[in-house]
Amino acid sequence: MMKQTQSTLVFCDPANYAVVAEAAKNAILPTVQLFVMGDATVGASSVDELLEPIEGESDFRPEYLGDATKLLAMVLCSSGTTGLPKGVCLSHAHFVDGNVFSTEVSDGPIFNFSSLFWATGIFAVMTSLFHSRPRVLTTKPCQPDLLLDLVEKYRIENLFTPPSYVSALLAHPRHATADLSSVRQWQLGGSMVPPEIILRLQKLLPNGHTRSIYGSSEIGFITRNDVTVKPGSVGPLTTNVECRVVDEDGQVVGPGVSGELLLRHRYMFLGYLHNEEATKNALTEDGFFRSGDIGYMEADGSLYVIDRIKDIIKYNNFQVSPSDLEAIIQKIDGVKQVCVIGIPSPDGSSDLPMAVVELKPGNVLQAEDIVRHVDGQVTDFKRLRGGVRFVDGFPMTPSGKIVRRVVRKLINEAA
C-alpha cells in the first residue's frame, strides 16, 4: 500500500516503528516524514509536535476544497482474500452518508478488532466521532479470552467481528459462562456467516441481537439487517443502494434466481488508486460495481449472498458453493474452523471439493467421520471427493478472514 500511495506523511505506533520505517524506506520516496504516537525517536518525530500552538492559529478558516462527492477523503485496503489488496479511493460524502447506518447502534461502548486501513475499522472510528459514543481499543490480537474480558470489563454494547472470531469464541470453554448481558448488537460480516454461528451466538445474548452485515469497501454498507430479517438473508438494501442480479451472459434474472450481484450507490468508490484497468473491469458501462458475489433477491426485497464467484468449485459442470459445505462441517462437534477449496481431479478435467479443517484442541475427529457426515447430507455432486486435510491453523487477514487463495496454494504445494 505504501508503494501505491507514495504518502509524504506516515504515522505509526512506537512498537511498529522499525517495521514501518523499513517499509517506507523501500517503498516511498526519501522525502517521507515519519511520526510516532509518543516520544520522538531516531528518524521520527513525535505527533505531539503537530499539536503545539502556532502563531495565527486563531485566524484559521476552513477552505472550500470542492465537490464532496468527488473529493478524495481516504484510501482503504480491499480485502486481499483473492489477490493483493488494492487501494480503494473513497470520498468525503461516502463517509458522511455511511454513518447514517451507524445510528442503529446503541449509546454504549463500541468495539471491534479491525485496523484503521479496513472499512470496518474506520467506520467504528467515524461512528464514535459522529455520535459521541465511547470506543474501546486494544493493541492485542483477537483471542477468545481477551474478547470476553473486554466485553465484561467495559460492558460493551456494540460489536462487529468476522465469523471466524465467533467460531473460536464458541469453541472456548468460557463462552457458556461469560457475562454478555451488556451486548445490545453483535454484527457479523466480512465473509460468509454460517446460520449455525448466528443461532449459537444469539443464545448467549439475553439482551441483544445477532445480525449478519453485508457490505464492501467499494460500496460501503449494502443491506440493513434487523431482527425481522428472514433466516439466511442479509436483509433488504440500505438507503441509496441499487442491486441488479445477472447471469453469466450479463442478462438480468428475476426474483429467486441466482447470479452475480451488481451494485450501485450514489456515493460509491471513486476508483482503485493508480489502477485504471482494475477500475474499468470492476464497473459496468452504466456504473454498477461487479461485486464478484453470487446471490439472489426475493420478490419482497430480501437479499441472499451465496458465495464468491472466484471461490465457486466446478465439478462436472455443476457449481459447488464452498460456504454451503463449510456451514455443514462447522456444525460437527470438534471442528474449530474450516475452509473448502477445489483441487484438480486426477485427469485435470474437473475440480474436487476438499475440506481443510482445523480441529479444536484435543479432538480426535477423523477425516472419514467428516466425509461421511457431509456425504450423508448433500447431493451427489457436492460430495467431498477431494477428501479432508487437517491443519494447525489458517492464514488470516488482519480483519479475521481466512485467506482462501493462500490455503489453496499451500495445499497444492503439499500435494
b/e map 311-348, b = 16+ CB within 10 Å? bbbebeeeebbbbbbbbbbbebebbbbbbbbbbeeeee
User: Most distant CA pair in the chain: distance in Å?
Assistant: 76
pLDDT attached to residue 122: 86
pLDDT attached to residue 152: 98
Asked if 334 and 363 touch (Cβ cutoff 8 Å), the reply is yes
pLDDT attached to residue 247: 93
**How many Cβ atoms are within 10 Å of 237's Cβ, its own excluded?**
20
Rounded distance, CA 86 to CA 89, Å?
A: 9
Asked if 83 and 281 touch (Cβ cutoff 8 Å), the reply is no
Reply yes or no on domain 91-308 having CATH 3.40.50.12780. Answer: yes
Model pLDDT for residues 124-163, shown as the tens digit of each residue: 888 888 888 899 999 888 899 999 999 999 999 999 998 8
Q: β-strands 259-265, 158-161: how paired?
A: unpaired
Rounded distance, CA 318 to CA 382, Å?
A: 9
Q: Which of 211, 261, 4 is nearest to 104 (CA)?
A: 211
Alpha helices (H) in 52-143, listed in sequence order: 92-98, 119-131
Three-class secondary structure of residue 312 per DSSP = coil
Rounded distance, CA 19 to CA 91, Å?
A: 29
**How many Cβ atoms are within 10 Å of 201's Cβ, its own excluded?**
24
Residues of the chain with CATH 3.30.300.30: 312-414
Model pLDDT for residues 330-381, shown as the tens digit of each residue: 999 999 999 999 998 887 778 999 999 999 988 889 999 999 999 999 999 9
Residues of the chain with CATH 3.40.50.12780: 91-308
Rounded distance, CA 84 to CA 78, Å?
A: 8
pLDDT beneath 70, residues of the chain: 29, 79-84, 99-104, 226-228, 415
Full DSSP string of 217-272: TTTEE-B---TTSPTT--BSB-TTEEEEEE-TTS-B--TT--EEEEEEETT---EE
Domain 312-414 classification at class level: alpha beta
Please enumerate, as own/partner, the contacts of 344-350 that have beta carbons within 8 Å and a separation of 24 or more. 345/385, 350/314, 350/315, 350/316
Asked if 325 and 352 touch (Cβ cutoff 8 Å), the reply is no
pLDDT attached to residue 334: 92
* Residue type for position 213: I
pLDDT attached to residue 100: 61
Asked if 336 and 171 touch (Cβ cutoff 8 Å), the reply is yes
The three three-digit cell numbers of residue 2, written as one number: 505504501
* Residue type for position 119: A
Rounded distance, CA 356 to CA 392, Å?
A: 10
Tell me the β-bridge partners of 237: 223
The three three-digit cell numbers of residue 46, written as one number: 513525535
The size of the chain, in residues, is: 415
